[in-house]
Amino acid sequence: QVQLVESGGGLVQAGGSLRLSCAASGRTFMTYTWGWFRQAPGKEREFLGAIRWPVGSTTYADSVKGRFTISRDNARNTVYLQMNSLKPEDTAVYYCAAARSYAGDDRYAYEYWGQGTQVTVSS
């Protein structure tokens, strides 16, 4: 099993930045794709982006491309989501997820999920 714990959420003003962390423990060698999703009240869970390890390739949703960046610190088994130029519509609970194989924007391809961290962007 793999355990994921997100941190770094909070309240930020529009135009500001936040960096979310996703610390992994357990059998992390089983994972290949690490993704970030978010879910706003009353909306479906939305794919933001993913990184595949050890290849290091990344993909992003159009809604965040150019503003959000995913990276990984292999020594710390931690994946990051750097969020810049935040907008009120970015307000949501943010989740990290991991898959044992190649995964894209399909949430059902991810076997492991964190508990989520709240991000609130004020206008």
Residue 55 confidence (pLDDT): 80
pLDDT in tens, 3-13: 999 999 999 99
Q: Is the pLDDT of residue 93 over 90?
A: yes
Fill in the DSSP letter of residue 84. Answer: -
Nearby residues of 100 by Cβ (< 8 Å), 6 or more positions away: 30, 31, 32, 111
What is the percent of the chain where pLDDT is above 90?
Answer: 85
pLDDT in tens, 53-87: 878 899 999 999 999 999 999 889 999 999 999 99
DSSP characters over 14-50: TT--EEEEEEEEESGGG--EEEEEEE-TTS--EEEEE
Mean predicted lDDT score pLDDT of the chain: 94
Is residue 24 within 8 Å of 79, Cβ to Cβ? yes
